[in-house]
Structure 1
Amino acid sequence: MSTPNVEAVKLDELNCWRIRHGQAELLVAQQGAHILSYQLAGQPPLIWLNDEAVFKTGNNIRAGVPVCWPWFGNLLRNPQGVQAMRTSSEPPTAHGFVRATDWALRGIEAEGESLKVEFTLPYPEGGFSGWPHRVDLTLGIRLDEQLHIDLTSHNQGTDTVTLSQALHTYFAVSDVRKVHVEGLDGLTYIETLEDWTTKPQTGDLHFAGETDRIYLDTPPKLGIVDPAWERRIQLTSRGSRSAVIWNPWVDRAAAFSDMADDGWQRMLCIETANVMDDVVTLAPGASHTLGVSLGSKSL
């Protein structure tokens, strides 16, 4: 078993760790317990580190694997049970609030041939602003031949809590116009770009324009086929029956100050999620884990 190499690094204002274990290299920020990049030696990156990403305190990072919690996207598009958890009259930020919050690094330790990295976000003294529910969070990362990510919510309070969430993964691809996603055939999706209409998926998903779809009753296994890089990225989800697939394409990317105009070509988001009728309801004392394992194989 190789000894992990852990290096503390600073990206502008953010504390980060570069972790090497075996053939894997992981870059993760304390803010948001945010995985910024991941790749295996001699291979293209699996997780996309946006060249134009901004690493400022309190600033959401457009790259890697943002943690969306305790709601996903626009709060007002969430089921009423999720909306009712928030008590503030201030406009809600998109995707909740934990991705711009510093988490605590609990530890980095070997487990057999794998390496475990764990972050925690306990319920703070005084509570989460505008969201007064005693839920502790743990983000576990495990490195072996794959990258495993698990987000666990534990309700420490006396009231039932309802939340939506996602691991908003940006995958690195050779060119999004030349890749396709397997495992969606026959599913129903919500087309958010067409007034949130519901449509059926026929065949694999190919990309020819801006894409923002919520897939319902998704299977645990999906794949991104990338012929130019001669690989298939395999996603295996846990605790999830929904997925969001997103690419901003030309016009949206050009409007982002933290993405190159052509950055959309090199990324594809598949977000392992609990959204729409797949929200999480936690009774007092209950826990839920949302997770995904990521790896790649040659075509």
Structure 2
Amino acid sequence: MIAERTTASGLRFLDISTADCTASLCIQGAHLTSWKPAGQEHDCLFLSPDTQLEPGKAIRGGIPICWPWFGKRPGAPSHGIARISEWTLDNASETEEGVHISLRLLPAEEGMPVAFLRIGLGKTLTMSLKTTARHHAHDLTEAFHNYFLLGDVRQSRITGLGDAPYEEFAGQAAHHAKIPLPLTLHSAIDRVYSVDESLQELILEDHALCRQIRITRQGASSVVIWNPWKEGTRSINDLPSGSWQHFLCVETANALENIIRLEPGHTHIITQTISVESL
């Protein structure tokens, strides 16, 4: 079943309930705020209880779409316009394979590209974002800014990054080459890995909830890992004080030097598939 609702503040949502999953999608931002596969006790995604569900405000949690730039720009919205824009819903349908949703974003500014998003919801979650340059060339950076729900971030680890180099922005910014061991979390992290085509799958192990989240990627040369920890959470108004313990952002991205140069009429597609399994 697919049901549409509108909040008191005017945000439109699609609520999905099938034999394979439940989910919620906000049309503003094409923002998935919940996805819970059948058989799972907990949602796969973290949504801050203090987030402001209001038009024009970015939602804290779920899967924000950073597009057509990743990061900050002077005088422009952080992480681009996509997550605070009203997308057009082209299709929402249910088949034996699951629920399929298509949305598009055509910015009024002709110098910007256009975006087309396809979401598949079932026992797995698939998201595919196609960007096409219009009359002008465009340098594209982007991310699926995944907030994953954890029992305790300190009891989690990430495998699949190999020895990929990274830039660290938590504390003093620095460049590092990582030894090929699982990544465990002990303090604030704000890290952008540059990964090659052979490293297309990550596993986020959540030992507190006894499950693992598998993320496979295509068209993405960056992986972003972020958690502000206790100290950083104090400066984030829409995160409760203890919430840092219960999420980790593991983002499918093209960021920093991994810029996609799109000539007029050219297209780039970034895709991720997410599944949840017992440990």
Asked whether the two chains share a fold, i.e. TM above 0.5, the reply is yes
> C-alpha distance in 2, partners of 1:103/1:5?
18
Instruction: State the AA in 2 paired with 1:101.
Output: S
Q: 2:147 aligns with which of 170, 174, 194?
A: 170
Say which SS state the counterpart of residue 58 (structure 2) adopts.
Answer: coil
Which has the larger share of helix? 1
> C-alpha distance in 2, partners of 1:231/1:193?
27
Equivalence for 2:274: 294
Instruction: State the AA in 1 paired with 2:157.
Output: H
Q: 1:276 aligns with which of 246, 256, 270?
A: 256
Equivalence for 1:107: 91
Say which SS state the counterpart of residue 276 (structure 1) adopts.
Answer: coil
Instruction: State the AA in 1 paired with 2:81.
Output: F
Say which SS state the counterpart of residue 229 (structure 1) adopts.
Answer: coil
Say which SS state the counterpart of residue 264 (structure 1) adopts.
Answer: helix
Q: 1:264 aligns with which of 233, 244, 262?
A: 244
Instruction: State the AA in 2 paired with 1:14.
Output: L
CA contact (8 A) 1:11 1:55 kept: no
> C-alpha distance in 1, partners of 2:210/2:173?
34
Q: 1:68 aligns with which of 66, 69, 72?
A: 66
The answer to whether the aligner puts 1:232 opposite 2:212 as a matched pair is yes
User: How far 1:287 sits from its partner (Å)?
Assistant: 1.0
Equivalence for 2:156: 179
User: How far 1:295 sits from its partner (Å)?
Assistant: 0.4
Comparing 112-121 with 237-246, which one deviates more in the overlay? 112-121
CA contact (8 A) 2:161 2:195 kept: no
CA contact (8 A) 1:34 1:67 kept: yes
Aligned-residue Cα RMSD (Å) equals 1.6
> C-alpha distance in 2, partners of 1:262/1:195?
24
CA contact (8 A) 2:125 2:274 kept: yes
CA contact (8 A) 2:38 2:123 kept: no
Structure 1 unaligned residues grouped into runs of 5+: 76-89
> C-alpha distance in 2, partners of 1:41/1:110?
16
**Which consecutive segments of 4 or more residues in structure 1 shift more than 3 A?**
none
User: How far 1:156 sits from its partner (Å)?
Assistant: 2.3
CA contact (8 A) 2:37 2:276 kept: no
Q: 1:120 aligns with which of 84, 104, 121?
A: 104
> C-alpha distance in 1, partners of 2:107/2:134?
9
CA contact (8 A) 1:234 1:294 kept: yes
Equivalence for 1:79: none
> C-alpha distance in 1, partners of 2:9/2:159?
38
User: How far 1:113 sits from its partner (Å)?
Assistant: 1.6
User: How far 1:59 sits from its partner (Å)?
Assistant: 0.8
Q: TM-score, with normalisation over the residues of structure 1?
A: 0.87
The answer to whether the aligner puts 1:10 opposite 2:4 as a matched pair is no
Equivalence for 1:248: 228
User: How many corresponding residue pairs?
Assistant: 275
Q: Deviations over 1:179-211 (max 9, x none)?
A: 001112311111112543211222111111110
User: How far 1:111 sits from its partner (Å)?
Assistant: 4.4
Structure 2 unaligned residues grouped into runs of 5+: none
The answer to whether the aligner puts 1:37 opposite 2:34 as a matched pair is yes
Say which SS state the counterpart of residue 230 (structure 2) adopts.
Answer: helix
Comparing 287-296 with 107-116, which one deviates more in the overlay? 107-116
The answer to whether the aligner puts 1:221 opposite 2:212 as a matched pair is no
The answer to whether the aligner puts 1:149 opposite 2:127 as a matched pair is yes
User: How far 1:271 sits from its partner (Å)?
Assistant: 1.0
> C-alpha distance in 2, partners of 1:11/1:73?
31
User: How far 1:112 sits from its partner (Å)?
Assistant: 4.1
The 1:55–1:188 alpha-carbon spacing in structure 2 relative to 1, beyond 3 Å, is same
> C-alpha distance in 2, partners of 1:104/1:226?
35
